Structure 1
Amino acid sequence: MVRCSNSLVGILNFFVFLLSIPILSSGIWLSLHGHTQCERFFDKPMIALGAFLMVVALAGVIGSCCRVSWLLWFYLCVMLLSIIVVLCFTIFAFVVTNKGSGETIPGKVYKEYRLGDYSEWLQKRVNDNHHWKNIRSCLYEDKFCNRLEFFSAGRYPNASEFSKKDLNSLESGCCKPSNDCNFTYISPTTWNKTSGTYKNPDCNTWDSDNKKLCYDCQSCKAGFIDNLKTSWKLVAIVNIVFLVVLIIVYAMACCAVKNNKDDNSYAQF
């Protein structure tokens, strides 16, 4: 008689196996049909994740339902490693996203973002030219600055009206110049430079060219990190729930291994 823990492990891993199919298929589709660099960036991780889940799920199903002990031991080792990795990543995500937030500007609804306010580890990642080139390409391909210009056309005729616009961190950091520059407002993504010297290096970097704007500014990197912080914190919270589930499944798998061992011992008599 198949025991409850074996059945549960088998059922859960069967659903994981079903989940792995669309993940693997999506990764393969992106690798073949992805048009942008951002889309192609996700193909290999999705293929790896899909293949990993498929192999582990098969080991769990066959090991628990067919009483193949060595597959269950393999499954246990992978589950233990997964628990450790998820736990470490969750702690790391909370630590590196603990610092930094937008700076409130008097008289303006939107905030501005300074790269130096965030963790040194994240600063090093975005200051790496190779990394930022790929990130910059993704930001440009997303066209969020174009959407800001399009949907704000005519609604904000001057700087005073535009200051009432609630911008997200990427729009504030990448689509407009810093408040330090005191440039002349024309439209949300078009500002005329004023003469003089600038303390903020982003003022020299700014360009009203739609392909340049402030994508190479420190404020854009800070805005990207701030946006990443929100995503990572959400992922970290989800990981806590996932970690609890992993521990429960791991405990059931341990029971399944014990069941297999007991059954094998009984069969020898």
Structure 2
Amino acid sequence: MTFIDPSRGAKTMNFAEMRTWTAAWDTYDSAVHGVLRMPTFYPVVRHENWWGCGVSLTDLRSLAREHGIPVAWVPPPGVLRRLVEADTVHAAKLKILAESQQEILDLCVEKHAECTDEWLEEEADVAGKALAAWQDGHLQAAAALALLGSEDLMYQVTRVARAKSYAGLKEAAQKEPDGWFQHAQYTLAPLEPLYTQYWPKNNDPLPESLSRHAVVHNFPLEHLNEGHSIVAVMLMISILRECQQRAEEVRHDMLLA
């Protein structure tokens, strides 16, 4: 089967072309069509790590909302494909993450290196320390640092006032993607299960997906397992890289003003 990029050779893109091209781009699967160069305009409407994954937007959003696994900026496309193809039980998804640990770490390091805006200097420093801990073999320590260190970023990227607390973050994550540039909403989707209500004093059952409240209020090490630890670091990198993207857009608009 051959994949033809409809944007090949184009130097501009209008909205009609955007609609046509994205429909074609979303069908590209590198495992079927072979490795192809990413189109120039692809990152305008899709996340770079989706190129060639062969996964539908519906399945990407389900992976993020149902399992709390980031899908924006990280992990690599091959990992996304394997995650979606795996059994629907949560443990199967975590197994894929554990088996793909080095691939994921490498892309996290690459995306972190792209986060250079001075507005994000402190957050990028925290993320760098989390990655260093992971590289040194201290994955759970990396996860704890990433989970707590990314909270300010979550408020930044959702534009939710801290007065609304965690309910506001969860509400922002639940919004359905819409508009021309809906891919940005996929960055937020994992926050929905992350902030599932959990109170140990009420004997609430431990959430299946990574839970911020379980880590902070109870800290059961069996919950912060290898898979969930990878999710925590991925989440920080995903949100940090999204903030970098938005900072670049703001600075570009400032130059044009």
Q: Shared fold by TM > 0.5?
A: no
Q: TM-score, normalised by structure 1?
A: 0.26
Higher helix share: 1
Which structure has the larger Rg?
Answer: 1
**TM-score, normalised via structure 2 length:** 0.26
